Structure 1
């Protein structure tokens, strides 16, 4: 990946692009929302479809010349329908957050009530944080996980819903390591005459592969990202029943977007086809196995895991028990110094600023794409634990950095 055409026009950008390829090759990507797409998806997303305006939907565009765009978008829709078993799919949202916005616009009026998980307990900004559009347009209250167990307290959620009487309950989370009981939340939503939006942004691929129960056919609306565990390039997706199809279509265009990013939709189509192959189920199973191995090994090193472990692709470490004076941000920086890239994260009962945080979140999708198995993941966990124990020790960091480079060399990326 030399980006020669870019270099002829803009050497500075070319240097940054080449530098990013090398950074990804020489570091271990453990941010739970990141992955490595195939060269086929990269080609599709960098295709001449970036030139094409295609406002509207297949066979119903506002502009001419959309024959190829129609083919690509319909392929993406058909493949998504097969992957997740949804009656209706919209592949045009530019991100998972915009997919959520599309559902809100389709189902709610300004000032309506949303009940969602608190950000510091594993929720997401677009679920109603006061600095986000959702928190500014709608009346939002938030539920929490049990601070002792780290699990969602469904009885407390039901009581909160009865008291608050929301118009929509949001499930699906960005830092929750356990399986979600979609049917139970749907029962709660039905009991208070609320819609149920299940945001599977982090587990889209795990749901497609059967490694996590599916909310499709259970929740009224399902949204997701297409670049975390599904490896179809950056973007969002909405799934529902035909009952809500017209409302969602109108919410996306003209409600919140103009022309769709057809090159991104091409990436989605290619990535969805890859996910329909038998190998993808093996990949998703390995993602979960690797996360479990990561959590178990970190626990052996004395680190506390929120909820005691994981059922998904991520582990959430609470540093307060084992390293009370060490912040998540400090650990994040020390690990990046040695080539392990993850993020500081708030934990249930957080007492620090989210910009500092008391925990770290680590995911296994990208490393699994590179071919890491549980044995290699355990080596990574050993590296993480050594740095957590001695984030300021230059000798320790030098030794770990060498181990990280050896792991990168053993599992090459984009050769």
Structure 2
């Protein structure tokens, strides 16, 4: 629901949620109360987490249905359980909307999350590039026909392929080969970073790294890189070294769907496989998608049972609704506003002498280096939360504080843009954030050493910031007209 949502729709949603919470409360009133409180908390805080948004009541209500009760392992028209005709309908709709929205040859709507989507993609690439040629060479139709010796040899090959992805501190994601993640354990992995002076991708350096390492998989995409990527260049690099180009667009999928990213900045025409979440900038339910060329479609289609368990049919139905919403003309306006608002937020920080990684943004992310305030990311995150500003700490390139305490705060504009915030409000947000950080000081540990976690926010600052935020939030209400009794 946005400011333009008809009052009749808001009234219907109010009745629906009131009745639902009444039913829930009759069984476990604490869950009903926590649900009411979550709405109140979200309405009263500045949500600036780049990976969060607000789904429409239609999307949210779609998840609370009896589709949740149905097992549907397999694919459309080819299930391992009977009675899946209605699941077939909603999964096919989700895939259809995804194909049309992104211009993809094939779409797979079953992944439960972004990490699951990446696992499906990784194993699909391994199946297509490693397993299938091995089976053909051995004259076997599937792995069950292999001798134990041949199977052990294939297992060795599957587990020793090379992956090249963006490093975590440069803005990549932990699923792009970070060692504590399963992706870092599946592959022999190396990472590419950004230019130390500018924080920007240097495609010549990426190409040189790829020539040296010769990966099977080249991963592009990011979770904290505040710039656009030239996916045509990434495909050239992948082709030169014989790699499969996989793009994780979980963060910026809404900007692709809304045609803010086109041409070489749109990953779908250039990548072999594209993965995404359906929440974040797409404003859908929590879940994932895989888009692929026809060449990789048969492998991706085996995501269940290759990687996934039973599909979440109620979430696939919600994906279909959200993707249908994203195909409407107003979504393009929203996506452009997200990018424009990020520039306004970045300019607001820069005019107040804050330090931004790469010096700005041209997507939906603004990455603030808080070391200039004498703080760690954890201290800054906590102080901002105390003042009602919800963010998350994030590494910056060559981060001296590591991945836990960090030196950065990542901001995103999708959620507040959904609420109707524009350039004026985001400049004010920058002002409030800087006010908090300038009035926050690190404290010392019990041993008298500087702490990386504890802090002291000057008296009165949190109340002033919350009051200023409330003025903007009241003018841009969340789910306007939706009132719970």
TM-score per shorter chain, which class? Answer: over 0.9
Q: Distance in 2 between matches of 1:161 and 1:228?
A: 30
User: Quick check: which has more Rg, 1 or 2?
Assistant: 2
Deviation track 1:337-387 (CA, whole Å, cap 9, x = no partner) reads 111100111101111022111110000000001111111111111111111
CA contact (8 A) 1:319 1:359 kept: yes
- Cα offsets for 1:20-59 (capped at 9, x unmatched): 1111111111100000000000011112111111111111
CA contact (8 A) 1:80 1:89 kept: yes
| Contact residue 96 and residue 225 of structure 1 kept, 8 A | yes
| Structure 1 residue 62 displacement after superposition | 1.4
Aligned match of 1:291 in 342, 356, 368? 342
Preserved contact between residue 225 and residue 234 of structure 1 (Cα < 8 Å): yes
Query: 2:320: which partner in 1?
Result: 269
Q: Which residue of 2 aligns with 1:183?
A: 232
Q: Does 1:404 align with 2:404?
A: no
Residue in structure 1 matched with residue 151 of structure 2 by the alignment: none
Structure 1 residue 332: deviation in Å?
A: 0.7
SS at match of 1:292: helix
Q: Does the aligned pair in 2 maintain the 1:338–1:404 contact within 8 Å?
A: no
Out of 94, 106, 109, the position equivalent to 1:88 is 106
Alpha-carbon distance between aligned partners in 2 of 1:368 and 1:46, rounded to the nearest angstrom: 26
Who is 1:386 aligned against?
Answer: 435
Matched residue, 2:295: 243
| 2:162 counterpart residue number | 113
| Residue in 2 that maps onto 1:305 | 356
1:351 maps onto 2:416 in alignment: no
Measured in 2, the distance between the counterparts of 1:247 and 1:410 equals 49
Q: How many residues align?
A: 412
Alignment check: 8 A CA contact 2:387 2:461 kept = no
- State which drifts further: 52-61 or 200-209: 52-61
User: Which residue of structure 2 lines up, in the alignment, with residue 101 of structure 1?
Assistant: 119
SS at match of 2:205: helix
What does 1:173-252 align with in structure 2 at a 5 Å threshold?
A: 173-212=222-261, 213-250=265-302, 252=303
1:258 Cα shift?
Answer: 2.1
**In the alignment, is the contact (CA less than 8 A) between 1:316 and 1:361 conserved in 2?**
yes
Structure 1 unmatched runs, 5+:
none
How far, CA to CA, are the matches of 1:258 and 1:400 in structure 2?
45
Q: Distance in 2 between matches of 1:133 and 1:28?
A: 33
The answer to whether structure 1 residue 55 and structure 2 residue 38 are counterparts is no
Runs of 5+ unmatched residues, structure 2:
1-16, 127-157, 441-456
Residue aligned with 1:114, SS: strand
Q: TM-score scaled by structure 2?
A: 0.84
Partners of 1:267 and 1:245 in 2: CA distance: 23
CA distance in 1 between counterparts of 2:85 and 2:206 reads: 48
SS at match of 2:224: coil
The corresponding residue for 2:390 is 341
- What SS does the corresponding residue of 2:225 show, helix, strand or coil? coil
Is contact 1:327-1:357 (8 Å) kept?
A: yes
| Superimposed CA distance per residue, residues 53-102 of structure 1 (whole angstroms, 9 cap, x where no aligned partner) | 11111111111211211111111111111100000100101111111101
Secondary structure of the structure 2 residue equivalent to 1:351: coil
| TM-score in terms of structure 1 length | 0.97
15, 22, 38: which one aligns with 2:40: 22
State the 1:10 CA deviation.
Answer: 0.8
CA–CA separation in structure 2 for the residues paired with 1:363 and 1:310: 11
Q: Does 1:137 align with 2:189?
A: no
* Aligned mates of 1:45, 1:146 — CA distance in 2: 43
Instruction: Tell me, in whole angstroms, the C-alpha distance in 1 between the residues paired with 2:105 and 2:403.
Output: 39
Pairwise CA distance, 1:288: 0.4
> 2:116·2:308 contact (CA, 8 Å) conserved in 1?
no
* Kept in 2: contact 1:58–1:70 (CA 8 A): yes
Q: What stretches of structure 1 move > 2 A for 4+ residues in a row?
A: none
Matched-pair contact (CA < 8 Å) for 2:91–2:109: yes
- Equivalent-residue separation in structure 2 for 1:4 and 1:329 (angstroms): 39
Match of 1:128 among 166, 177, 181: 177
Q: Offset at 1:408?
A: 1.6
CA distance in 2, matches of 1:383, 1:286: 21
Contact 2:342/2:365 (8 A) holds in 1? yes
